[in-house]
Every structure is written in structure tokens, then in C-alpha cells.
Amino acid sequence: MNRKRWNVVAMAAVAFAGSIAVVSGGIGQASSPPALVQQVQDATRNFKDVNNAMDAGYASLGSCVSGPQEGAMGVHFAKSELIGDGAIDAANPELLVYEQKGGRMRLLAVEYLVIAADWDAGHSAPPVLVGQHFQFVSSPNRYQLPAFYELHVWAWKNNSNGTFVDWNPAVSCDDYTG
């Protein structure tokens, strides 16, 4: 084999071996979730049972939220005193998001929500929680709320569109009975 061809083969072998090392280095190693996801899971683990959420003061808003995007958000359970307090706290989400399937409610996500006027009265910038920027929803809106900031965190169900995206293509309102 000539020297030039040998160098190409040797470089390809090194590149191949390096790619095997990278792939095999990840086998069996679970990547840790983003910090906010871990905080949400720690704070809401007990609410996987919807009865525990209701005992803690969360109440169903009585509908399943779907929209023009692919998928849905799900059934929101709100704790009204948190929505009106003007604060954001990772350990106390304003809303818990469930999906009804087979007659059972399954916790999927949380939504942090703060009324914009309440937030803006004490802050010069929109809310950010553990590095995640909130979305602004103007008024009038389908929820009949004044303008607000919100952030979804898909802590209990994967969202192929992203952990902090509103709509999840793997969620459906088809089984929701109210």
C-alpha cells in the first residue's frame, strides 16, 4: 500500500475508533435532566396522584387544552392563590398539567404563570426561572385572564418539541371526559 493511501486508512481507523469510544462511553450512563426539570420532579412527585394535588388545593379548570399546533397541553389543575401572588417559585407551580387516558389522570408537566401587571410592578424584565424565559400571553386570550407570563416544564412526559415548549405532540385530549 502506498504511503498516501496508508495515511488515509490510518486516519479513518482513528476516526472510527474515536467514534466508537464516544458512543460506548455513553452506554449505561443516564444524562441528568435540566436543573429546572429536577426541581419540578422533586416538588411534584406527590402530585402524580391527582387526589394528592386536590388535597393540596389544586382544582381542575374543567377542560383539556388543545390548540392549533400539533398535540395538546392537557388538563390544567390550578392553585388560585399562587396565580394571584405575583411571584414565581420553582417548588410551587401555579398549575399542574395532566392527561386523561383510560379513565386515569397522569401528571405530565407543570405551568408557571404570573399575571403580567403583578410581575411588571416589581420587575424591570420578564420572568426567568432557572435560566428559562417565560412566554408572554396578551389579553384578550382564550383563558379570559389578563395578560400573563407562562412557562411549561414537561417534567413527567417527554416533549419531542422541547422540555419548555407549550404544546406536546404526544399529548391528546381525546379521552378527556370532564
Q: Does residue 129 lie in a domain region? A: yes
- Same domain? 93 vs 8: no
pLDDT score, position 69: 75
Per-residue confidence band for 32, with pLDDT thresholds at 50, 70 and 90: low
Kindly state whether residue 11 falls inside one of the protein's structural domains: yes
Same domain, 57 and 143: yes
pLDDT of 95 reads: 98
Neighbours of 133 (CB within 10 A): 13
Rounded CA gap, 65 and 108, in Å?
A: 13
Structural domains counted in the chain: 2
**The whole model's pTM is what?**
0.81
Average pLDDT rounded to a whole number, residues 136-144: 94
Mean pLDDT of 145-150: 96
pLDDT band of 12, cuts 50, 70, 90: very low
Residues 76 and 118 in one domain: yes
| Average pLDDT, integer, range 39-52 | 98
- The pLDDT of residue 56 is 98
Same domain, 25 and 42: no
- Helix (H) or strand (E) holding 148, with range, is strand 148-153
Q: What is the mean pLDDT of residues 103-131?
A: 96
- For residue 103, the enclosing domain spans 35-153
| Residue 81, domain member (yes or no) | yes
Residue 137 lies in a domain: yes
Are residues 59 and 12 located together in one domain of the fold?
Answer: no
Say yes or no: 107 and 135 in one domain.
yes
Looking at the structure, tell me whether residues 71 and 59 fall in a common domain. yes
25 and 58 housed in the same domain: no
Inside any domain, residue 168: no
Does residue 93 register a pLDDT over 80? yes
73-82 — which CB contacts under 8 Å span 24+ positions? Answer: 73/97, 73/109, 73/111, 73/152, 73/166, 73/167, 73/168, 73/171, 74/98, 74/99, 74/108, 74/109, 74/168, 74/171, 74/173, 75/99, 75/100, 75/105, 75/173, 75/176, 76/111, 77/50, 77/53, 81/57
